[in-house]
Amino acid sequence: MLRRYPDAGEPLSCKPITKGLLNHGYRVSTTRGSYFLKHHLDDSTGDRATIVRQHRATQRLQSLGVPVAPPVQDTEGDTVTEIGGRCYALHPWVDGLHRAGAQLSTDQSERLGALLGAVHTGLEQVMGAGAGLAQRTGGSVGSGGSVRAVGSGGSVGSIESVGSVGSVGSVGHRSPDPADTFALIDDLLAVARRRHSRDAFDELAEHRLLERRTLLERHADRRPPTPGPPATGWVHGDFHPLNVLYRGGDPVAILDWDRLGVQPRAEEAVRAAAIFFVLPAGKLELEKVRAYARAYRRAAGASAAELAAAVHRVWWERLNDFWILRWRYCLDDRRADPQFPAVSALAVWWTREYEAVCEAFTG
């Protein structure tokens, strides 16, 4: 692999990096420094053309002053290496730390919102406002797809569109249909109740599923409409604490552009805030959200009305979203289990404090 990058030096060590739910990453140390080797595994974003598009976007964003870490070019000027049908990319190693919202001051939260606004306006410049709707637009949104056919062994069969962190709707960005969610809740409940060795997680899952069904029945008439084209644009697609590196109090690199695509822009701002600023009890730090959102609106040129619509759509998305339970019960993948208590509590708290949350994003 490194022979394709003669300026990278001779390899000394290669250590796997455990953080992250998608793809594989390695810290490669050489005689000339350290690098991040990314092994692209996700089928929805791991083809060469999609990766090249991501790389070109980061190269252009860097020229605009956005903190990114574009890949290293090989001797042919390429940034993607294919070995055994899989794609790899070599990036410069960036020293820094991940910081959740609890570790950010109000001023730093404001700078975070301005940074995301700069990403969106920068992408509009380098990608074009409507330069071909992305065919793949992943991200942590919506319940999407369906899970049907509960098997006798406590598993769920016929899994459709079980994404990495939830599934995005097709072009048009339709909001989740509660009828589909009710069916999904029934299936997940059946699996959770059928498990032979139930634990505290299964008990909490059953409680939250029943609670969510009640909330959806109460608010089913509040399903948001499909947003029009002016609300959409190119977005990072997965903007959260593990994809932003800090050195001291300043962000130095935005990582993992796998989900680069065309989506409602303000929804990414709301979705990111719901990840950065959620507390373990499932509440949002609204003072920080307010500072973040004001800075985002200024930097992105987004109106309060656009943010209000995004708040409503992401709230609805959260009511209908069970990606963590789908990973656990459908894929037997428990890596996201630790996130479930706060994520599931947030949907309930957000419903109760809907007006306060909306005001924090728009005030």
**pLDDT by residue, tens only, the chain of 363 residues:** 888 888 899 999 999 986 666 789 999 999 999 999 999 988 778 789 999 999 999 999 999 999 999 999 999 999 999 998 889 999 999 999 999 999 999 999 999 999 999 999 999 999 975 444 443 343 333 333 333 333 333 333 333 333 333 333 334 578 999 999 999 999 999 999 998 899 999 999 999 999 999 999 999 999 998 876 667 899 999 999 999 999 988 999 999 999 999 999 999 999 999 999 999 999 999 999 999 999 999 999 999 999 999 999 999 999 999 999 999 999 999 999 999 999 999 999 999 999 999 999 999
Phi, psi of 160 (to 5 degrees): -120, 135
Angle at 237 between CA 234 and CA 242, to 5 degrees: 140
Distance, CA of 281 to CA of 50 (rounded, Å):
38
Q: Which residue is listed with tokens 């994520």?
A: 343
Q: Which residue is listed with tokens 């109760």?
A: 352
Q: Are strands 232-235 and 146-147 parallel, antiparallel or unpaired?
A: unpaired
Radius of gyration for the alpha carbons in the chain, expressed in angstroms and rounded: 21
Assess contact for 95 and 247: CB atoms under 8 A: yes
